[in-house]
């Protein structure tokens, strides 16, 4: 029997990948300690808690005068200025009845005071006095101790990526050494007797190995440690040897050699090396011949050789595996619905990923435009865009303004 019924639906394939990745991640994924300065892009493997209340003292939010709200309850009042406290100063001042202290933003509120009046609302009849309006709301312009977080409260949960503002939050609680998850190690092997390294000049029947470069960039952006498995010719012994080495990594990614041609030997080579094939061929366009397997120590992806097919299969299947391995608390796949600008053709028998470009509409609303291509080899056209529109088998054409389902290539949410 043949036909679309033979092909595994995309979401079933993603489920199989995610389950296999979860099993692998469960076997206590290693962690290491890093200086916070070296930890950018790493995934936290511990909850980081506040080491003290924040703010750590009742803090001035304005430049002005610290006073007691009760003293100005009756209306405008002139108070005696008994000192000054700047940010970082720990002078020990007390504000008594009828008194005020000049205070700068970020300074601790002196004992006795409960309120700050902005300097712009005051006047100075002489050096020793300040006239302030009244009444004032008690607590005005004061950030009470512990208002943002309390000592011991989690400020960044395990699974967060250490990036700009998160790194700052860790710094603010003194987490200058952090425990992070060791990045998954991913070996990339490209197969094909027609391939030459990108530094070489291809002969008449040769092409440059662009897929390895694509995968490196994709994997680095997904926080993997990439190992270069090189190019192997379509030859059984060489392929098996390269695979054997690549199986040391947590994830082995191969490109090419998984279609139905007589030189497509990757599946047989993997099986000879003890890899259990969990699926081969998915109802996806492009990327149908994609293969997925596992062995005791890791996962194996056999991506098609066509550059766009390899990229789509990588985004749809490999991306989720890496997010699960990193235990990143975000969706394994980033699908969002966006309005279509222009038209989108109808879909035939396979779930289709249409090359697309995110665009910003007149009203600043995010939208998406389909970008026609010549097919799964046309990486130049796809690279001009930045995302894919996903449609299901049998879906009718879509029109301008219709909501369509877009796969974002990387997480849009972390910082
Ligand atoms: P395959 O899946 O091995 O049959 O390859 C399908 C098509 O993709 C062929 O035209 C290959 O030449 C091309 N191709 C395979 N591997 C690569 C690669 N690493 N970089 C660029 N194109 C490739
Ligand atoms: Mg090939």
CA of 283 to the centre of ligand 2 (A): 21
Give the pLDDT score at 415: 66
Give the pLDDT score at 181: 92
CA 245 vs. chain centroid, Å, equals 30
Q: Which residues, 6 or more positions from 393, have their beta carbon under 8 angstroms from its beta carbon?
A: 4, 283, 347, 348, 349, 350, 351
Question: How far apart, in whole angstroms, are the C-alpha atoms of residue 94 and residue 83?
Answer: 9
Tell me which residue has its CA closest to atom 23 in ligand 1.
305
Over the chain (415 residues), the average pLDDT of each successive run of 10 is: 70 98 87 96 94 97 98 97 94 95 97 97 97 96 97 96 94 98 95 98 98 97 94 98 98 96 94 98 97 96 98 97 87 94 97 97 92 95 96 98 94 74
Question: How far apart, in whole angstroms, are the C-alpha atoms of residue 219 and residue 325?
Answer: 13
CA of 82 to the centre of ligand 2 (A): 83
CA of 45 to the centre of ligand 1 (A): 38
Domains present along the chain, CATH in parentheses = 4-30+183-325 (3.40.980.10), 32-53+148-181 (3.90.105.10), 59-143 (2.170.190.11), 334-408 (2.40.340.10)
CA of 282 to the centre of ligand 2 (A): 18
229 in ligand 1 pocket by Cβ < 6 Å?
no
256 in ligand 1 pocket by Cβ < 6 Å?
yes
**What six digits make up the tokens of 125?**
């009849």
**What six digits make up the tokens of 51?**
């080491």
Q: Which ligand is nearest to the CA of 254?
A: 1
CA distances from 306 to 88, 206, 230, 259 (A): 61, 14, 17, 10
302 in ligand 1 pocket by Cβ < 6 Å?
no
Give the pLDDT score at 2: 46
Query: Are 61 and 109 contacting, i.e. CB atoms less than 8 angstroms apart?
Result: no
Tell me which residue has its CA closest to atom 2 in ligand 1.
305
Q: Which ligand is nearest to the CA of 261?
A: 1
Give the pLDDT score at 1: 41
Give the pLDDT score at 330: 83
207 in ligand 1 pocket by Cβ < 6 Å?
yes
């Amino acid at each position: 029997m043949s036909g679309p019924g033979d092909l595994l639906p995309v979401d079933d394939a993603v489920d199989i990948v995610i389950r296999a990745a979860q099993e692998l991640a469960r076997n206590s994924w290693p962690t290491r300690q890093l200086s916070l300065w070296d930890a950018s892009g790493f995934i936290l493997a511990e909850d980081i808690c506040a080491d003290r209340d924040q703010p750590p003292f009742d803090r001035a939010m304005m430049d002005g005068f610290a006073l007691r709200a009760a003293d100005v309850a009756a209306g405008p009042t002139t108070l005696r200025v008994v000192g000054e406290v700047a940010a970082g100063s720990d002078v020990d001042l007390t504000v008594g009845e009828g008194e005020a202290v000049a205070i700068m933003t970020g300074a601790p509120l002196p004992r006795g005071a409960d309120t700050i009046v902005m300097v712009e609302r005051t006047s100075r009849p002489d050096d020793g006095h300040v006239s302030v309006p009244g009444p004032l709301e008690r607590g005005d312009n004061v950030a009470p101790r512990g208002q943002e977080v309390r000592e011991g409260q989690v400020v960044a949960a395990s699974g967060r990526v250490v990036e700009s503002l998160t790194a700052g939050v860790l710094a603010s609680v003194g987490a200058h050494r952090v425990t992070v998850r060791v990045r998954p190690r991913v070996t990339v092997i490209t197969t094909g007797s027609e391939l030459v390294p990108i530094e070489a000049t291809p002969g008449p029947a040769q092409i440059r190995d662009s897929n390895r470069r694509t995968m490196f960039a994709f994997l680095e952006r997904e926080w993997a440690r990439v190992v270069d498995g090189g190019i192997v010719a379509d030859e059984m012994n060489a392929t098996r040897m390269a695979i054997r080495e690549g199986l040391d990594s947590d994830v082995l990614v191969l490109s090419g050699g998984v279609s139905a041609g007589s030189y497509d030997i990757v599946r047989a080579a993997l099986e000879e090396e003890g890899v259990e094939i969990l699926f081969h061929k998915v109802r996806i366009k492009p990327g149908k011949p994609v293969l997925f397997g596992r062995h005791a120590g890791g996962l194996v992806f056999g991506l098609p050789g066509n550059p766009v097919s390899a990229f789509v299969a990588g985004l749809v299947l490999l991306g989720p595996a890496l997010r699960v391995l990193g235990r990143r608390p975000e969706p394994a796949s980033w699908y969002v619905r966006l309005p279509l600008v222009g038209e989108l053709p109808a879909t035939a028998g396979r779930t289709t990923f249409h090359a697309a470009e995110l665009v910003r509409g007149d009203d600043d609303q995010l939208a998406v435009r389909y970008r026609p291509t010549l097919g799964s080899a046309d990486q130049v056209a796809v690279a001009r865009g930045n995302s894919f529109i996903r449609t299901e088998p049998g879906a009718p054409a879509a029109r301008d303004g219709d909501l369509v389902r877009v796969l974002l290539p990387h997480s849009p949410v972390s910082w």
